[in-house]
Amino acid sequence: MKQEIDFIKFNPTQNMTILVKPNYPIEDYKKIASKIMSYDSVHAEQVGFIEKPINSKAAAHLQMAGGEFCGNACMALGAFIATEKGLKQNEMMEILLEVSGTDQLITCQVKKISDEYYCQINMPIPEKIEQRTIRYDDIDLNIIIVRYREFIHIVIEVEEFCESIKEKAQSLAKLLGVTLGSNLIGILLYKTKSDELAPLIYVPHLDSMIWERGCGSGTASLGAYLAWKNKDEVVANIRQPGGAINVVASCYNEELKSLQIEGFVEIVAQGKAFIDI
């Protein structure tokens, strides 16, 4: 027996995102997400569920399928709410969101430009950033650890995005997923000379591992690291396979004060999916 699932599909920097409208029990989220994001269904890189917020100031609660935080999904939901509220061309709207993976409300500013939405959101500030050298796969690997409450990003500076480095990144993500118990592990390969990012995102609860074409939270973590490293404000346009995402990060007295990302979102599909629950 197939069940109808109401969904909206978004394109935030080709990080294809599906948001599911409410009315499904939370215990079915994992199964719905795994089915609807698969190649033989609607197909996407991640799935979130739109719920009613607890905080009266928020317009909605975004619950990602793996319990993680996702910047691009926040921008997608902001764009959808702005559309539902009738945002007109070149107008701007500010929307507050509750989001899984963080206790703070996320502010999303949305501006409609032609058929796209330009979104700017404040991102959670990392709890800690540290630099380490680890022995992994018989080599010394210099890594930057960006820690959040419920997820962790690892920045690795590289010369090229070669297959051997990517394979090591995938193995490291699996290992950390087993040992750390986080909702999300991100391995961020970063070319310093060209500001290029290859983001690998692993969600252990869904056993989902994807080389994303554009990663909002990964861009934010990279910006946070660069501001922490330079002990100053950083404004950077981070190039990724699906396009560029801007990041603005401010650091004062070795403490991160603010973190924002900006990017474009398109609404590409809306309708019903038919899946087995």
Q: What CA–CA distance (Å, rounded) separates 27 from 67?
A: 12
Share of the chain above pLDDT 90, in %: 77
The conformation of residue 228, written as its DSSP 8-state character, comes to H
- pLDDT of 137 above 90: no
pLDDT at 154: 95
At residue 205, the pLDDT reads 83
Torsion angle in degrees (nearest 10) through CA of 168, 169, 172, 178? -130
- Residue 267 vs residues 2, 55, 61, 226, 270: alpha-carbon distances, Å: 25, 26, 19, 31, 8
Task: Specify the CATH superfamily of domain 128-263.
Answer: Diaminopimelate Epimerase; Chain A, domain 1 (3.10.310.10)
- 217-223-228-234 Cα dihedral, nearest 10 degrees: -150
Q: pLDDT tier at 68 (50, 70, 90 boundaries)?
A: confident
Query: Do 2-116+265-276 and 128-263 show the same overall fold?
Result: yes
Which of 77-86, 114-123, 249-258, 259-268 shows the lowest mean pLDDT across its residues?
Answer: 249-258
| The pairing of beta strand 92-99 with beta strand 60-64 | parallel
pLDDT of amino acid 36: 95
pLDDT tens figures, 2-48: 889 999 999 999 999 999 998 788 889 999 999 999 999 999 999 99
Distance CA 56, CA 160 (A): 47
Nearest to residue 2, comparing CAs of 32, 42, 40, 44? 32
**Distances from the Cα of 275 to the Cα of 37, 41, 42, 208, angstroms:** 11, 8, 10, 19
Total count of residues recorded for the chain: 277
What percent of the chain has a predicted confidence (pLDDT) above 70? 100
The predicted pLDDT at position 24 comes to 87
Closest to 30 (Cα-Cα) out of 73, 80, 64: 64
pLDDT at 21: 92
| Per-residue model confidence as pLDDT tens digits over 144-195 | 999 998 889 999 999 999 998 899 999 999 988 878 777 889 999 999 999 9
What CATH superfamily is the domain 2-116+265-276?
A: Diaminopimelate Epimerase; Chain A, domain 1 (3.10.310.10)
In the chain, % helix, strand, coil (3-state, to 5) comes to 20, 50, 30
Q: Which amino acid is at 98?
A: E
Domain boundaries, the chain: 2-116+265-276, 128-263
* Predicted local distance difference test score (pLDDT) of residue 252: 86
Q: Considering the entire predicted model, what is its pTM?
A: 0.90
Which band of pLDDT confidence, cut at 50, 70 and 90, is reported for residue 254? confident
Task: Could you list the beta-strand ranges (E) of 137-183.
Answer: 139-147, 151-157
Distance, C-alpha 13 to centroid of its chain:
11
